[in-house]
Amino acid sequence: MSTTNELSALGAEALLERDLAHWPMARQNYEALNDVRIRTVRFGAFRIDVQFNPARIVSSGARTDAASISQRPCFLCDANRPPEQDALPCLDDRYLLLVNPFPIFRRHYTIVERTHTPQSIAGGRMADFLELARQLSGLTLLYNGPSCGASAPDHLHFQAVTRGQMPLDTEVDSLHATLLIRSPEATLSRILGCLRPLLVIRARTAEAAEALFGRVVRALPRTSPDEEPMMNLTARYEAGEWVVIVMPRRRHRPWEPGEGILTAPGAADMGGLFISVRTEDFEATDAETLRAVYRAVCPSDEAIRALRFDK
Ligand SMILES: [Zn+2]
């Protein structure tokens, strides 16, 4: 796909520098990342980094039920965005790249559709997601399904973030994978035994990646026929190859707020950068807590083993 106003990781970085120069709240949140507390919990071949990030209460604590969403002004629409937040138009002006003022990553961008459209990867959005990964090679792209950690399920958005901060960015290349499908330009593999079952697409062309993704989407269960399967996605483009990780989900939150640690896992948490917004939760999040969270929000390894992929 060729588009006007092509993005680059450097162009995005220049936007970040401009924004932080005149936006004290965002600057303070980015500076706070320099001495953020992280505790690593090891599980054999993989690890989870627990990050203490109180500013993220805006996301982890956000009410995303339809009634709450309809009563708040959408913070991704032009009319309601902070005046300090600059924007880079991209993909033929259909999207805007913005600096996320509540970062988890040292570089953390939100890429929003220009119109107020529900969060969905259907209708050609996977092609957009892959093209953004190509233009922003060097960064990792994230997508949260509407009931899978997205704090604005009513306004389509992706994220682009520093690569390598999520442990899974590198672990995906070393964890044991089982090949499921091989096509001339792409493969689909599954990785089990790492708390979050993963389906991994590796492709030399965007079309081949999209075709395999379509087969994954058709194979995954849906909670209702008009909703997409629950999932988080990451994508990277490097040395002529796309790597897309599909992380199937079965719940938005592991338990109701007030019942345990406060969490609404999104792609970052699924990628092994687990966000804790309260001191008591940060201290309580050990291997057992993490197992309980992922067991509650992800399908079992057996459920993923039982998937059947059509042609
Ligand atoms: Zn909106």
| DSSP, residue by residue, 231-271 | EEEEEEEETTEEEEEEEE-S-SSSS-TTSSS-----HHHHT
Tens-place pLDDT, residues 123-166: 899 999 999 999 999 999 999 999 898 888 999 999 999 999 99
What pLDDT sits at residue 61? 66
CB 254 within 8 A of CB 260: yes
Q: Is residue 4 part of a domain?
A: no
Q: Is residue 268 part of a domain?
A: yes
Q: Is residue 3 part of a domain?
A: no
Q: How close is the Cα of 77 to the center of ligand 1, in Å? A: 4
Q: How far apart are CA 224 and CA 279, in angstroms?
A: 37
Counting Cα atoms < 13 Å in the Cβ hemisphere of 90 gives: 27
Q: How far apart are CA 33 and CA 70, in angstroms?
A: 32
Q: Is residue 111 part of a domain?
A: yes
Domain of 206 in residue numbering reads as 9-305
DSSP string, 129-156: HHHHHHHTBTEEEEEE-TTTT-S-TTS-
Q: Is residue 62 part of a domain?
A: yes
Question: CA angle at residue 19 from 17 to 24, to 5 degrees?
Answer: 110
Strands ordered across the beta sheet of 46-52: 37-43, 46-52, 273-276
Total of domains in the chain? 1
Query: pLDDT exceeding 90 applies to what percent of the chain?
Result: 85
- Tokens standing for 30? 């980015």
Low-confidence ranges of the chain (pLDDT < 70): 1-4, 59-62
Q: How close is the Cα of 76 to the center of ligand 1, in Å? A: 5
Q: Is residue 310 part of a domain?
A: no
Return the bridge partners of 96, or none. Answer: 89, 112
Question: CA angle at residue 212 from 208 to 214, to 5 degrees?
Answer: 115
Q: Is residue 92 part of a domain?
A: yes
Q: How close is the Cα of 66 to the center of ligand 1, in Å? A: 14
Q: Is residue 1 part of a domain?
A: no
CATH number at residue 131: 3.30.428.70
Counting Cα atoms < 13 Å in the Cβ hemisphere of 179 gives: 6
Q: How close is the Cα of 90 to the center of ligand 1, in Å? A: 17
Residue 197, judged by CB atoms within 10 A of its CB (0-12, 13-18, 19+), counts as buried
Q: How close is the Cα of 154 to the center of ligand 1, in Å? A: 7
Tens-place pLDDT, residues 254-302: 998 788 999 999 999 999 999 999 999 999 999 999 999 999 999 999 9
